[in-house]
Amino acid sequence: MAGILNFGARRKCHLHEGDEPISSVPFVVIDTELTGLNERKDSIVSVGAVRMAGPRISLGDPFYRLIKPRAALTRESVIIHGIMPSDVAAQADSASVLAEFASFCGQAVLVGHCLAIDLAFLDREMKRVLDARIENRLLDTAELFGWMMNRGLLENCDPAAPGEPDLYRLARWLDIPVSETHHALTDAYITAQVFQRFLPLLRREGISTVGELVRIGDPLGGGDRFRIKGEISSL
Amino acid sequence: MIQDEILQFLKKVPPFQFLDDQVLTMVVQNLSMEFYPKGAVILKQDSPASDTLKIIKKGGVKVSVKSKDGEDVVIDYRGEGDTFGLISLMGKERQKTTIVAVDDTICYLLNKETVYRLIDDHPPVTEYLLQSHFTKYIDKTYGEMHSKSLFYGSSDHLLFTTLIGDIAGKEVVTVPESASIQEAAREMAKHRISSIIIADRNKLPTGIVTDRDLREKVVARGRDVSDPVKDIMNLPLIRVDAKDYCFEAVLKMIKHNIHHIVVIKDGALRGVLTNHDLMMLQGTSPLSFAKDLESQQTIEGLVPVSAKINRVVGLLLKEGARAGNITKILTELNDRLVRKVLEITEKKLGRPPVPYCWIAFGSEGRKEQTFKTDQDNAIIYEDADTPAKEEAAKRYFAEFSTLAQDSLLRCGFPPCPAGYMASNGKWRQPLGAWKRYFSSWVAEPTPDAILHALIFFDFRTVYGEIVIGEQLREHLAGILKDQKVFLGHLANITVQNRPPIGFFKTFVVEKTGEHKDQLNLKVKGIAPLVDIVRLFALEKGVRETSTLERIEALRSRHTVVAEFADELKQAFEFIMLLRIHNQFEQIEAGRFPDNFINPSRLSNLEKRTIREAFGLITKMQDHIIEVYKHMIL
């Protein structure tokens, strides 16, 4: 650990974005629950997020808000995330929640599992209500998983299981407790823990800066993206 | 719901389980979580100190230190629910141990600010954390750190070298007697203090109110906060002098089961000393041990707690405690243990049919216990007024003493091989019978009677109706007056045991057997001093039973003691300390503690001091021979 710190210190004089050691970078791990997966019709029901300082998950200040959705909650989505129309009827509209969310995230690197989906909705909604864009650096744990699988870093992972890195299966495999599923905050928390477990494995592969991390974990990085998205869409 | 799970976890983990929900919620808000894969070095010796207190949620770690030859020595393992990193967090120094995950490990990390806040506001947390972090550490490293020299031993004498005035809070906040509870509480909140002194019209302290009083006497009982604060204050006000050593304060706190003590200097209020102040000074405390003991409700619960008593000795030794102080603290702790055992036994059997008291004698009676010694105890119960009652008492105490003996055995006190125990019908008698025993021993000093007198006359009430014990003590003082014959017999025994100094001022040691070339410190050093001082005390009707207290009481009443009091105390303390050190080393080495030392292993200074002590014993014995010359055989 000390070695990495020294490495960072030595290079401080010409440190630019991407060179920061992972151990000192703020991350915000996010998840959203949606009325459905149709980008045109559906909208966000809830947003959850937890902060991380390098490998440390901050437990004291989680972010969780329900949003009064524009689209009606479909029967299917209610079954998945358990949020009833009555739960959200009295909630704030997306403008105030997203403004709060944006300030919660600040300049942190945003982390999510299959982040592209959440991002698509968040981006569209931000643009619509706040006329803003998400410009944070992004990191997808599903992408990290794929990268690590390809290098054989996840030796105990069942090779017979399909490549699709379902969050809960991943959690089970890593022995992370899953008390509740399809809830934006607990899912973000699970994702954070998955990410936390990945970090030492990645460090062993020489991944020590944020720049390297976001390159291999780019949510829009590989062709895989569409396949995963397609599979989830067909749920 | 994430926080809820953590809250539930903390509620099962000491010391956090001592906190209420509101404080726990604050704790959770300041937690973070980190994952360490198996084999990861979490903290490294000589690297920067830990920035957080780490609570193990899952997995485990090993704690090691580098020995002088660079080898890593594992001193401890910590598992789920344990904490680490406290010492380096508080010490601002470099990390003193290396901590490695022995399994995939998840820790909750509590930031420094919150740790300090808990330490400031919640003494039980402090106590627990410090105890769990220090005792383990010190226990394991004691053997290596322990210096051979008793005189120039360890450097931190803290409790015994620090004056109360040096660490007591200097700010004294008082409220007048006329103040309401709310006004007092407001003052406490304003000054962020856990206690407040109530002063009378002349500004003299009359009582103290602590957080505990507000909790127990006000909130829990729904008392009106506009009531006068006087109604909930603690009386009498327990005080210590600023010029006393901190150890005195510890003793008083244990005795009265309090955490705040008023400090007086030159007759005026000087401050308040809290348990917390002492903890910060001392690391781990006999007080927290006492509390641990107090909270037990079953013999099963007492057993593991009592096993820790030896640890306290190790700590006190390390702090350079004087022997008298070590035995004083040990006596207080052992007394508490015995009382607790008896309390539990009473609960099991119901109230006794007549009042009684439980007495201890021998070293326990003299408050000179070191490591756990044999049970030496007896029961005195009030004379019953009807035969039926007498019969009921007999039956009750027979069962009671058998149960108690068994429980004490389980707590580490082996039964007395000679049967000087309450479970022996002979030593479980009504007050009248005891008076007759004592009288007959004095009147007819047969060898048996003298032996019994030596054993029982050092008795001390440990539990029950103190008055009953006092009545027997009163009786003893009465029957001893001018009993030259009896005292002569005691004198005779006292001078038979001459110090083992040879013609050329060499030590006379055991010539054969298991302890060849060794010296028995108990028989040759401590016993003669105890006997001499007991004789003087009985001559003068001194009621104290401890040798050091007897010397102090005799200082003004006995011409020889007046002259040699300091030498006697010094000699006694020295031999006692030598013995305790020796026994502790034996226990540490996994051997059964005995009283033998090899003089050739002592430093020259130690040898000289023992010789001086033996010289003093000879001098005292010569004096006794002179006084009782016609009776010495």
Question: Would A117 be classed as within a structural domain?
Answer: yes
Residue B164 near residue B242 (C-beta atoms within 8 A):
yes
Q: Three-state SS for B102?
A: coil
Domain count, chain B: 4
Rg over CA atoms, chain A: 18
Question: Would B317 be classed as within a structural domain?
Answer: no
Going by pLDDT thresholds of 50, 70 and 90, the confidence category of residue B408 is very high
- Burial of B404-439, coded b for 16+ CB within 10 Å and e otherwise, reads bbebbeebbbebbeeebbbbbeebbbbbeebbebbe
Question: Would B133 be classed as within a structural domain?
Answer: no
Q: What is the pLDDT of residue A100?
A: 92
Same domain, B473 and B494: no
Query: Considering chain B, what is the average pLDDT of its residues?
Result: 83
Question: Would A3 be classed as within a structural domain?
Answer: no
B144 has a pLDDT exceeding 60: no
Residue B543 near residue B559 (C-beta atoms within 8 A):
no
- Burial of B595-615, coded b for 16+ CB within 10 Å and e otherwise, reads bbbebeebeeebbebbbebbe
Among the partner-chain residues A50, A57, A60, the one whose CB lies closest to the CB of B28 is A60
The 3-class SS string of B59-72 reads: CCEEEEEECCCCCE
Contacts of A196 in chain B (CB under 8 A): 33-35
Residue type, A161: A
Q: What is the mean pLDDT of residues B216-230?
A: 90
Q: What is the pLDDT of residue B319?
A: 58
Among the partner-chain residues A1, A57, A199, the one whose CB lies closest to the CB of B32 is A57
Same domain, B109 and B184: no
Question: Would A161 be classed as within a structural domain?
Answer: yes
Residue A178 near residue B16 (C-beta atoms within 8 A):
no
A226 has a pLDDT exceeding 80: no
Residue type, B379: I
Q: What is the pLDDT of residue B92?
A: 59
CATH of the domain at B15: 2.60.120.10
How remote is the C-alpha of B169 from its chain's centroid? 25
Question: Would B143 be classed as within a structural domain?
Answer: no
Residue type, B456: F
B434 has a pLDDT exceeding 90: yes
Q: Which of residues 24-43 of B touch A (CB under 8 A)?
A: 28-37, 40-41
- Angle at the Cα of B175 (from B172 to B176), degrees rounded to 5? 130
Lowest mean pLDDT among A69-83, B425-439, B580-594, B618-632: A69-83
Among the partner-chain residues B30, B35, B109, the one whose CB lies closest to the CB of A196 is B35
Residue B185 near residue B208 (C-beta atoms within 8 A):
no
Phi, psi for A58 (deg, rounded to 5): -85, 125
Q: Three-state SS for B150?
A: coil
Cα torsion for B428, B432, B434, B437, to the nearest 10°?
A: -130
The answer, yes or no, to whether the previous bond of B417 is cis (omega within 30 of 0) is no
pLDDT tens per residue across span B8-36: 889 888 788 878 889 999 999 999 999 99
Question: Would B89 be classed as within a structural domain?
Answer: yes
Same domain, B349 and B423: yes
Q: What is the pLDDT of residue B158?
A: 59
Q: Which of B122, B144, B173 is the last residue of a domain?
A: B122
Token couple for B179: 């103040």
B47 has a pLDDT exceeding 90: no
Residue that has been written with the tokens 């009786």 in this structure: B475
Q: Which residue of A has its CA nearest to B38?
A: A200
pLDDT tens per residue across span B550-578: 999 999 999 999 999 988 998 898 888 88
Same domain, B560 and B466: no
Residue A110 near residue A84 (C-beta atoms within 8 A):
no
User: What is the bridge-based pairing of β-strands A138-140 and A109-112?
Assistant: parallel
Q: Give the separation between CA B359 and CA B340, rounded to whole angstroms.
A: 14
Phi, psi for B75 (deg, rounded to 5): -110, -15
pLDDT tens per residue across span B91-129: 656 777 889 998 889 999 999 889 888 877 887 777 676
Question: In 3-state terms, chain A is what percent helix, strand and coil (to 5)?
Answer: 45, 15, 40
Question: Would B586 be classed as within a structural domain?
Answer: yes
Q: What is the pLDDT of residue B239?
A: 84
**Residue B606 exposure: Cα atoms within 13 Å on the Cβ side:** 20
Same domain, B390 and B358: yes
Question: Would A123 be classed as within a structural domain?
Answer: yes
Complex ipTM over 0.90: no
Same domain, B458 and B509: no
Q: What is the pLDDT of residue A17?
A: 66
How remote is the C-alpha of B62 from its chain's centroid? 31
Residue that has been written with the tokens 């460090």 in this structure: A203
Going by pLDDT thresholds of 50, 70 and 90, the confidence category of residue B132 is low
Q: Give the strand order in the sheet containing B195-199.
A: B174-176, B195-199, B205-210
Going by pLDDT thresholds of 50, 70 and 90, the confidence category of residue B311 is low
CATH of the domain at B278: 3.10.580.10
Same domain, B332 and B439: yes
Same domain, B333 and B416: yes
Q: What is the pLDDT of residue A172?
A: 85
Q: What is the pLDDT of residue B375?
A: 87
Q: What is the mean pLDDT of residues B438-442?
A: 94
The region that residue A84 occupies, defined by phi over 0 for left and psi between -120 and 50 for alpha, beta otherwise, is beta
Among the partner-chain residues A56, A179, A186, the one whose CB lies closest to the CB of B33 is A56
Q: What is the mean pLDDT of residues B132-148?
A: 38
Is A59–B37 a contact, with Cβ atoms under 8 angstroms apart? no
Is B1–A58 a contact, with Cβ atoms under 8 angstroms apart? no
Q: What is the pLDDT of residue B462?
A: 94
pLDDT tens per residue across span B270-289: 888 887 777 666 444 566 66
Q: Which of B477, B493, B525 is the last residue of a domain?
A: B477
Q: What is the pLDDT of residue B155?
A: 29
DSSP annotation string for B207-224:
EEEEHHHIIIIIITTT--
- Distance from the Cα of A130 to chain B's closest Cα (Å) equals 30
The closest of B452, B442, B376 to B414, measured between CA atoms, is B376
Q: Give the separation between CA B244 and CA B263, rounded to whole angstroms.
A: 10
B533 has a pLDDT exceeding 60: yes
Contacts of B108 in chain A (CB under 8 A): 59
Q: Rounded to two decimals, what is the model's pTM?
A: 0.46
Domain count, chain A: 1
Residue type, B420: Y
Q: Which residue of B has its CA nearest to A56?
A: B34
B185 has a pLDDT exceeding 90: yes
Contacts of A197 in chain B (CB under 8 A): 35, 37
A157 has a pLDDT exceeding 70: no
Among the partner-chain residues A55, A179, A199, the one whose CB lies closest to the CB of B5 is A179
Q: Which of residues 99-118 of B touch A (CB under 8 A)?
A: 104, 108-109
Q: Which residue of A has its CA nearest to B109?
A: A56
Contacts of A1 in chain B (CB under 8 A): 41
Give me the domain span that covers residue B391: 326-477
Is A1–B41 a contact, with Cβ atoms under 8 angstroms apart? yes
Residue B64 near residue B100 (C-beta atoms within 8 A):
yes
Q: How far is CA B617 from CA A151, B179, B569, B613, in A?
A: 83, 60, 12, 6
Phi, psi for B626 (deg, rounded to 5): -60, -45
- Burial of B325-357, coded b for 16+ CB within 10 Å and e otherwise, reads bbbbbbbbbbbbbbbbbbebbbeeeeebbbebb
**What's the length of chain A?**
235
Question: Would A7 be classed as within a structural domain?
Answer: no
User: What is the bridge-based pairing of β-strands B356-360 and B205-210?
Assistant: unpaired
Phi, psi for B100 (deg, rounded to 5): -125, 135
Q: Which residue of B has its CA nearest to A185?
A: B2
Is B2–A62 a contact, with Cβ atoms under 8 angstroms apart? yes
Same domain, B91 and B189: no
CATH of the domain at B352: 3.30.460.10
Residue that has been written with the tokens 């060898």 in this structure: B447
The region that residue A33 occupies, defined by phi over 0 for left and psi between -120 and 50 for alpha, beta otherwise, is beta
More confident residue, B365 or B68: B365
Q: What is the pLDDT of residue B388?
A: 93
Q: What is the pLDDT of residue B342?
A: 95
Same domain, B614 and B512: yes
Ranges of beta strands (E only) in B364-414 are 377-381
Q: Which of B248, B282, B316 is the last residue of a domain?
A: B282
Q: What is the pLDDT of residue B152?
A: 24
Going by pLDDT thresholds of 50, 70 and 90, the confidence category of residue A2 is very low
Token couple for B38: 């198996």
CATH of the domain at A44: 3.30.420.10
Q: How far is CA B214 from CA B188, B219, B232, B233, B336, in A?
A: 11, 6, 8, 10, 27
Using CB atoms within 10 A of its CB, is residue B591 exposed (0-12), middle (13-18) or buried (19+)? exposed
Q: Which of A152-156, B11-15, B360-364 tops mean pLDDT?
A: B360-364
pLDDT tens per residue across span B473-525: 999 989 988 788 899 999 998 998 888 776 545 666 666 677 777 888 888 88
Is A59–B108 a contact, with Cβ atoms under 8 angstroms apart? yes
Q: What is the mean pLDDT of residues B49-74?
A: 79
Q: Which of A175-189, B58-72, B422-436 tops mean pLDDT?
A: B422-436
Give me the domain span that covers residue A167: 18-233
Ranges of beta strands (E only) in B383-510 are 428-430, 460-464
Token couple for B454: 């030596």
Phi, psi for B270 (deg, rounded to 5): -120, -25
Same domain, B450 and B516: no
Residue type, B248: E
- Burial of A152-184, coded b for 16+ CB within 10 Å and e otherwise, reads ebbeebeeeeeeebbbeebbebbebebeeebbb
Question: Would A66 be classed as within a structural domain?
Answer: yes
Same domain, B331 and B437: yes
Q: Give the separation between CA B259 and CA B253, rounded to whole angstroms.
A: 6
